[in-house]
Structure 1
Amino acid sequence: MIGTISAETGTQRTLGYLIEIGHADGGARCILDVTEAHTNRHDVLHGGIAATLLDNAMGATSSLTVDATGRTPFLTVSMTTQFVAAARAGQRLTATGRVTGGGRSLLFLAAELLDEDRRLIASATGVFKRAKLDRGGDA
């Protein structure tokens, strides 16, 4: 069953993206309806927002490996992003994460950011580690 995580973090509330969990492939989806608030001075999606969507898709996918709710925190250790095409206001984008490997302490992931026509906007690879948060929220 597909579930949705919305308005959980300040970043999520500010940017307005949703996270979908529960897909058969085990990958989380990070979905954003692009508005002018998400564009840069060239009227295309800001690269930092594209990277944020990819990072969240991979982080939530990491969480799904240990928690069906997708809420166990994982930290991004490293991330490499490739920007392929421009996206504009009015488009719906979906970043999908997938686990590509890992061991006891680190997971390796990949993600793609696609528009409604399945055109590749950006892709990323990353290394993620399960967070052991203290009471103050620090890792």
Structure 2
Amino acid sequence: MIETIRDETGAQRSLGYTLEIGHPDGGARCILDITEAHTNRHNVLHGGVAATLLDNAMGATSSLTADATGRTPFLTISMATQFLAPALVGGRVTATGRVTGGGRSILFLAADLLDQDGTLIASATGVFKRANLPKGGDA
């Protein structure tokens, strides 16, 4: 069953994206409807916003390997992002994470950011580490 998570973190509230978990492929999805608040000076989706969506999709996918709620903290160790096409105001983008390797505490992931037409906007790879954060810690 797919669960949509809204307004759970400060980044999510600031940017206005939603997080979906529970997809059969095990990948978390970050979905954003692009507004002018998300653009750069060229009026297209800012690369930092795109990277944030990719990072969060990979991090949440990591968490889903440990528990179905996706709340086990994993932290980004490294991330490489490739920007391939612009995304425009009024469009919707979706970042989907997938595990590509690793073990119990270190995972390797990849994610793609697609627009509503299926155009690949950006892609990323990352290394994520399971973290033991104090209660109340936000990953």
TM-score, normalised to structure 2, is: 0.96
Distance in 1, Cα, partners of 2:64 & 2:131: 14
1:135: Cα distance to partner?
4.4
The C-alpha deviation readout for 1:73-120, integer Å capped at 9, x for no partner, is: 110000000000000110000000000000232000000000011100
Residue of structure 2 in register with 1:10 after alignment: 10
- Matched with 2:85 is 85
1:64 positional shift: 0.4
Tell me how far apart the structure 2 counterparts of residues 89 and 81 of structure 1 sit (CA, whole Å).
Answer: 21
User: Which position in structure 2 is the counterpart of 1:41?
Assistant: 41
Q: Which moved more, 1:64-73 or 1:78-87?
A: 64-73
Counterparts in 2 of 1:19-98, with a 5 A limit?
19-98=19-98
Q: Number of matched residues?
A: 139
Q: Helix, strand or coil for the counterpart of 1:122?
A: strand
> Which consecutive aligned stretches of 4+ in structure 1 deviate over 3 angstroms post-superposition?
135-139
| 2-structure distance, mates of 1:137, 1:66 | 17
User: Following the alignment from structure 1 to structure 2, what is the Cα–Cα distance between the partners of residues 14 and 109?
Assistant: 25
The amino acid across from 2:31 in the alignment is I
Q: 1:47-96 CA distances to partner (integer Å, 9 max, x unpaired)?
A: 00000000000000000001101111110000000000000110000000
Q: In structure 2, do the counterparts of structure 1 residues 113 and 36 end up closer, same or farther at CA, with 3 Å as the change threshold?
A: same
Q: CA deviation at 1:134?
A: 2.2
Question: Could you list the runs of 5+ residues in structure 1 that have no partner in the other structure?
Answer: none
Alignment partner, residue 99 of structure 1:
99
What secondary structure, in the 3-state scheme, does the structure 2 residue paired with 1:125 have?
Answer: strand
How far residue 138 of structure 1 moved from its aligned partner, in angstroms, is 8.5
What TM-score do the two structures reach when normalised by structure 1? Answer: 0.96
| Amino acid corresponding to residue 52 of structure 1 in structure 2 | T
